[in-house]
């Protein structure tokens, strides 16, 4: 399957919650650079759009949505949240994604990059999204920008359920009640089984021990987590985020929860210079980097983000944006933004 360089991103995603019952969804976008026009993008209720390029679908959005993506004549969201709290993201699925050439009988064909926006525009929950995928849609091998992107998806909602969607050579797989984490290849089923290799990891430090007749006292913290892989491969990021999701202390409310989930996502972020993907270039474009991290809250409809060099948390409020009846985009403001304190 031929791929366009813009689809060769890394990425990690995580669903989490707060002590007071708010549901959060975060993703890192890891790539060598952002596609021109990438912005925080709001699409109002009633927006017309296509499922496949150049093929009118007759669809209009039932629900407003906001996320990061493009306005290429219509919204194309990499991730986002809608007004009913359904949240989702597309992630790169190298070597494994497979889509049929034509739609199944009584279903509509949809290009893979259109799936996030379409489900946010038409569904209120993970359950509704799963039903639409099973009965109404077929992900098809129709090129966009000269290539068919290899993608898989994760969705979450106000119930706290997460769902992973993968279209493989043996068909479409919809994993309900997923662990709430997704990275890249291999498949979700492989990642889930791989967690058995780390079942002994815990948050509690080990204490004193006698070994070979010698009494040993701990001189550092973190011994309970020894064995967590520290590289930036997809399997390692999946394991780290699962352990952080299990043991990380939740925020008491949305504000503290958002601050804390941004911290968790840093553990899977790509530092510029550590993930070289090209030997032909020597500038920053030779490396995959975490270009931005986004966080959505299902209950408030707020969509937050930071960028690699601007760690100030910015956000837009979907409930306020819903007062608009036309699309709007917001610049990511990627430049460093330092705040001087004099007192």
Catalytic residues: 11
Q: Is there a contact between 124 and 84 (Cβ–Cβ < 8 Å)?
A: yes
Mode of pairing for the β-strands spanning 209-211 and 289-297: unpaired
d(CA 316, CA 321): 8
Integer CA distances (angstroms), 289 to 31, 72, 202, 307, in order: 5, 24, 29, 10
Q: Residue 192 to residues 45, 59, 129, 244, 271: CA-CA distances in angstroms?
A: 36, 36, 22, 15, 26
Residue 239, Cβ density class (10 Å: 0-12 exposed, 13-18 middle, ≥19 buried): buried
Which residue has 């119930």 as its token pair?
159
Residues 6+ apart with CB under 8 A from 262: 26, 293, 295, 304, 306, 313
Q: How far is CA 306 from CA 29, 261, 313, in A?
A: 11, 12, 5
Beta pairing, strands 137-139 & 108-110 = parallel
- Which element (helix H / strand E) includes 42? strand 39-43
The neighbouring-strand residues paired with 75 are: 71
Report the C-alpha dihedral over residues 125, 126, 127, 132, rounded to 10 degrees.
90
Give the separation between CA 330 and CA 69, rounded to whole angstroms. 11
Cβ 332 vs Cβ 68: under 8 Å? yes
User: Residues with Cβ < 8 Å from 99, sequence gap 6 or more?
Assistant: 112, 139, 140, 141, 148, 167
Q: Outline where DSSP puts E strands in 169-220.
A: 171-175, 181-182, 209-211, 214-216
């Amino acid at each position: 399957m031929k791929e366009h360089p813009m689809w060769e991103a890394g990425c990690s995603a995580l669903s989490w919650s707060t002590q007071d019952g708010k549901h959060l969804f975060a993703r890192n976008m890891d790539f060598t650079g952002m596609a021109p026009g990438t912005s925080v993008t709001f699409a109002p209720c009633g927006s017309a759009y296509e499922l496949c390029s150049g093929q009118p679908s007759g669809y209009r959005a039932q629900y407003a949505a906001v996320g990061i993506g493009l306005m290429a004549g219509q919204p194309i969201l990499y991730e986002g949240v809608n007004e009913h709290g359904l949240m989702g993201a597309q992630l790169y699925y190298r070597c494994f994604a497979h889509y049929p050439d034509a739609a199944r009988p009584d279903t509509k064909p949809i290009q893979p990059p259109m799936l996030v926006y379409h489900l946010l525009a038409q569904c209120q929950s993970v359950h509704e999204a799963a039903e639409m995928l099973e009965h109404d849609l077929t992900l098809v091998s129709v090129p966009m920008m000269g290539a068919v992107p290899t993608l898989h998806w994760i969705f979450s909602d106000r119930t706290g359920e997460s769902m992973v969607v993968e279209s493989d050579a043996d068909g479409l797989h919809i994993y309900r009640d997923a662990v709430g984490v997704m990275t890249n290849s291999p498949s979700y089923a492989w990642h889930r089984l791989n967690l058995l290799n780390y079942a002994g990891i815990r948050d509690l430090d080990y204490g004193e021990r006698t070994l070979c007749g010698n009494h040993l006292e701990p001189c550092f913290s973190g011994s309970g987590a020894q064995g967590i892989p520290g590289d930036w491969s997809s399997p390692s990021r999946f394991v780290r985020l699962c352990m952080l999701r299990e043991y990380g202390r939740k925020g008491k409310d949305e504000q503290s929860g958002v601050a804390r989930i941004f911290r968790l996502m840093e553990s899977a972020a790509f530092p510029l210079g550590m993930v070289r993907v090209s030997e032909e270039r020597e500038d920053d474009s030779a490396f995959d980097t975490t270009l931005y991290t986004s966080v959505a809250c299902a209950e408030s409809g707020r969509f937050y983000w930071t960028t690699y060099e601007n760690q100030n948390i910015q956000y837009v409020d979907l409930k306020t944006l819903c007062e608009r009846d036309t699309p709007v985009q917001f610049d990511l403001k990627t430049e460093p933004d330092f705040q001087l304190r004099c007192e």
